[in-house]
């Protein structure tokens, strides 16, 4: 029955968010003095993260290296399937600045969650950005950050493996 339903009903896929719109969301969050929200949007876009991944980060999952920040993905979908530990390297300068600002503002303990609010509050904030920029009719979802980031990377000429590469220590 499920197979039949899938043939008839097309899945509601999240459209990709453009880099310009992701940056506009980030700027709006900073304008509202919500560096944490800006950081989460930037991480989702530039880290090609699934919606739940940045929401589950703890500060101890972030490794601060010389050239980038490495984020350990403990419960990633692919990692659970393959039994491998996944990590993503963040090199985008704006994302790095936001992450460092967030750490310096909060002075967190290693076990503190990066996003101390609910997942629903992130979805609501994302929905409010879409309303603010009058793009709510385009049906963007938080997963649009991942799709948009991947598209932007490919259009920029980055190799497909770029999500999994590391940086020098």
Can you give the pTM of this predicted structure?
0.84
Rounded CA gap, 169 and 158, in Å? 21
- Note the pLDDT tens digit of each residue in 54-84: 999 999 999 877 778 888 887 655 544 555 6
Split at pLDDT 50, 70, 90, the class of 108 is very high
Lowest mean pLDDT among 52-66, 94-108, 151-165: 151-165
For the ranges 10-14, 28-32, 33-37, 56-60, the lowest mean pLDDT is seen at 10-14
Pick the CATH number of 28-163 from 3.30.1330.10, 1.10.443.10, 3.50.50.60, 3.40.50.1820: 1.10.443.10
Distances 119 to 37, 53, 55, 82, 151 between C-alpha atoms, Å: 12, 11, 7, 26, 25
Q: Which one, of 110, 61, 65, 54, lies nearest residue 91 by Cα?
A: 65
Q: Write the CB contacts of 79 (distance below 8 Å, at least 6 apart in sequence).
A: 73, 85, 86
With pLDDT > 70 as the criterion, what percentage of the chain qualifies?
Answer: 83
* Vertex 86 angle, CA 96 and 113, to 5°: 55
Q: What are phi and psi of 7, to 5 degrees?
A: -70, -35
Q: What is the mean pLDDT of residues 103-114?
A: 93
| Domain spans in the chain, listed from the N-terminal domain onward | 28-163
Provide the pLDDT for residue 100. Answer: 92
């Amino acid at each position: 029955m499920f197979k039949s339903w899938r043939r008839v009903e097309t899945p509601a896929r999240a459209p990709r968010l453009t880099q310009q719109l992701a940056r506009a969301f980030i700027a709006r969050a900073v304008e509202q003095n919500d560096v944490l929200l800006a950081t989460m949007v930037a991480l989702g876009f530039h880290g090609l993260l699934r919606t739940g991944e940045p929401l589950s980060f703890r500060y101890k999952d972030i490794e601060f290296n010389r050239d980038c920040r490495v984020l350990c993905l403990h419960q990633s979908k692919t990692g659970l399937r393959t039994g491998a530990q996944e990590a993503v390297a963040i090199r985008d300068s704006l994302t790095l600045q936001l992450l460092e600002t967030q750490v310096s503002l909060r002075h967190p303990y290693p076990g503190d969650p990066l996003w101390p609010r609910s997942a629903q509050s992130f979805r609501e904030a994302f929905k409010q950005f879409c309303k603010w920029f009058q793009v709510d009719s385009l049906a963007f979802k938080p997963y649009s950050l991942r799709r948009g980031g991947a598209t932007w990377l490919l259009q920029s000429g980055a190799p497909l493996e770029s999500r999994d590469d590391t940086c020098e220590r």
